[in-house]
Amino acid sequence: MMASLISPARMIPRLRARDIRHVVDELARSAAGSTLNKDMVRHAVLERGQASTFGFGRGVAIPHAAIPGLDSPLGAFARVKPALDFGAADDIPADLVFLLLSPDGDDPMHLRALARVVRRLRDRDVAARLRSAKDAEAIHVVLTSDAWREPDDERGTGHTATLRAGDLTNTAMCTSISVLC
C-alpha cells in the first residue's frame, strides 16, 4: 500500500527546483527526518542516478536507492517547478518526483515498492489530481487512496485497472531490479 510508504509530512507541494541535485537534496532532507542521515541518503540516490535514469515518462521521476539500516521502504514526494529532465525515454521533463528509499540488500522488496510507486504515478487520473492538488494533505490522499475517484468512471469500478508490465517502465519489461533501474 502507498500509505505505508509516505506521510503528509514528507510532501513538498511546491518545490522551486534549480536542478536535479537540488530536488534530490530537498527530498532526501524530507525523507531522512530525524532517523536517517540526509547526506548518506543524498549520496546513495545521486550515486544510483549515475548508473540509471530516474525518469519514468509522462512527467514522472522516481529517484531511488537502497539505504543501510532501513527496515522498510519509505518515500518523499515533490511537485517540481520548473519541470526537470530526469532522462525519461519520452523526453518529457518531470514535475512529479517521488523519492523511494528501500532497505539495503532486499532487491525484491525494492522492486515491489518501485513498481507500486510507478503504477500509481503513471496513472493519468492520479497524475492530473497530483498536479492540481492544493496542499500536502490533498496530495497524500491522491497518492494513498482512491476515495477521490468517481464511482462511475469509464470502467465503473471507482479505480483504475492495473497497468500492464510494459506500461510501468516506458515499455521495458520488469524482470529484475537491474532491468527496471
What is the DSSP secondary structure assignment for residue 171, as one 8-state letter?
T
Confidence (pLDDT) at 154: 52
Instruction: Report pTM.
Output: 0.82
**How far apart (Å, rounded) are the C-alpha atoms in residues 92 and 119?**
18
Point out the residues that are catalytic: 64
Dump pLDDT digits (tens) for 128-175: 999 999 999 999 999 999 888 877 545 444 444 333 333 333 333 333
53 sits in the region (left: phi over 0; alpha: psi -120 to 50; else beta) called beta
**How far apart (Å, rounded) are the C-alpha atoms in residues 62 and 94?**
9
Residues β-bridged to residue 79: 96
91 sits in the region (left: phi over 0; alpha: psi -120 to 50; else beta) called left
Dump pLDDT digits (tens) for 48-100: 998 888 999 999 999 999 999 899 999 999 999 999 999 999 999 999 999 99
**How far apart (Å, rounded) are the C-alpha atoms in residues 149 and 132?**
14
| Higher pLDDT pick, 152 / 9 | 9
